[in-house]
Chain A
């Protein structure tokens, strides 16, 4: 391993390790791209592909992101963007869960969908896309429904769960699972021009309170559908929350919900009474 580290250090210029060097190291020493990136980060070498993160994410923080395991439940409108952004951020292990295949009505907004991929499973397409975007990231693709009963199996080892579901019932199960598993959940939902985001730490009940009046069925998305931009906005806010929670930085949307109206360009914040819980270190 010392040889590998020396080889990596030799190719580091101005504190940055070019991708070509990561790739050459993987080939030469028969290592995975994940193993090479881990070694680089552990030895304080900043992969050049993340250089525009450099002044906001230090090398030890980039290592922390790389050693994090994030589960994304849903690979559709929200999930496609969430997955793309997590991979580009350098989150090292990503679980992509979705039971569905791409259909024509997904094409207006789901970034992973293309006409050529209609009929293909969303989770598998996500894994293929992410392997191209960032070969150092390990993606576990699961073509199955998430539910409370299989949560421990599907989300095994996850440090955080990202809600990209389109069902309120499954979302409430995810909130319950995350509390049982002791992991934070970043919640997002969209409908038409509208969306909202909130982060819930174990023991908190923000998501349950948001859907307190829900009885059955869907929300306004049933009538309005979803355009191309609403999932991108809400997914990006969710990933910002994931990044902050994993790094213990900033102020997550904890005990508060951010509501977004893209038609009137208004944002509202709703606060929820804090539930007394002990602080959880997501990473």
Chain B
């Protein structure tokens, strides 16, 4: 299956803004995160097709997955 993966803020450094990814059926968001060399702790927001998603959300063909880093300053 194919998904569109969008990275935001510092996750783009040394990576990309947007890319098509070929994944095995039933891949979870967590596997994509780890495959990028990111840790779960670095993840702020998981957005799946414009809505809040989870690390254990299962991806489907045609999904758009967006990953944002944790932001907590004031």
* Chain A residues engaging chain B, CB cutoff 8 angstroms: 74, 76-79, 163-168, 171, 188-196, 209-221, 223-224, 226, 231, 257, 259, 261, 263, 268, 270-273
Contact = CB atoms under 8 A, between A and B. Distances in A.
A216 B9 CA distance: 20
A213 B74 contact: no
Contacts of A190: 71, 73-74
Interface string B38-54: 00110111110011101
Interface residues of B, number: 23
B68 to A, nearest CB: 6
A215 B43 CA distance: 10
Contact of A196 (B10, B41, B71): B71
B16 interface: no
Contacts of A210: 44-45
Nearest to A269: B50
A219 B73 CA distance: 7
Which A-B residue pairs are the 6 nearest by beta carbons? A221-B73, A219-B70, A219-B72, A166-B74, A191-B71, A168-B72
A80 to B, nearest CB: 10
Given A192-B10, A257-B45, A163 B74 contact: yes
B74 A273 contact: no
Contacts of B66: 268
